[in-house]
Structure formats: structure tokens, C-alpha cells
Amino acid sequence: MPEAKFAMEYGSIFVGAEAGSTFPYSLTETCRTLRQVEYAQPTGSTSDYVMGVDLATSSDREADNAVICVIKLVEMENSLFLKK
């Protein structure tokens, strides 16, 4: 197994463009720092949460990884939603 893949799979280290990723590391790095984390829905919150899951079910050694993404939707006064 290549060293970069081992670091990603077993060390939870994001290797970025070194592994031939679609997006350059400089573009995605700023998205990796969470400014505010919620471990539970705040009391009295009316926000909705959407969860997207992409399970990695392939046994192919070159297959993609699994990912889970949770997005908070906050309704604004104009009836549109803000993603947080």
C-alpha cells in the first residue's frame, strides 16, 4: 500500500493533492477547520439538519472512502434557508 494511502486510511491524515485528488489542497483546507461545533441541537432551536451519507461498500483497493456530512439549515426572514 502506498505511504500516502496508508496515512489517510489508518492515520486519518488528509493527504490532499499528493494522492491525485480532484480538488487542490489549498481549495479544501479552509473547509476543514470548524469554527463552531454543535454536539446536540440547542434547546429551543427551530433549525433543521440534513445528513448525507456516501458509504464505501466496494472491496476494490482503489475505491473511494465513506463520508458523512451534516448540514444545519437555518430559516431566514425571507423564507430561504442558510446552510451552516
pLDDT in tens, 5-27: 777 777 766 666 555 666 677 77
Number of H helices, E strands in the chain: 2, 3
- From residue 48, alpha-carbon distances to 34, 77, 80 in Å are 19, 15, 13
Give me the sign of the Cα torsion angle 10, 3, 67, 47. Answer: positive
Residue 22: the pLDDT is 67
Residue 81: the pLDDT is 83
54 within 8 A of 47, measured Cβ to Cβ: no
For the chain, which residues make up each domain, given as ranges?
Answer: 1-33, 40-84
Residue 21: the pLDDT is 63
Q: What is the pTM of this model?
A: 0.49
pLDDT in tens, 32-76: 777 778 888 889 888 888 988 887 777 777 777 778 888 888 888
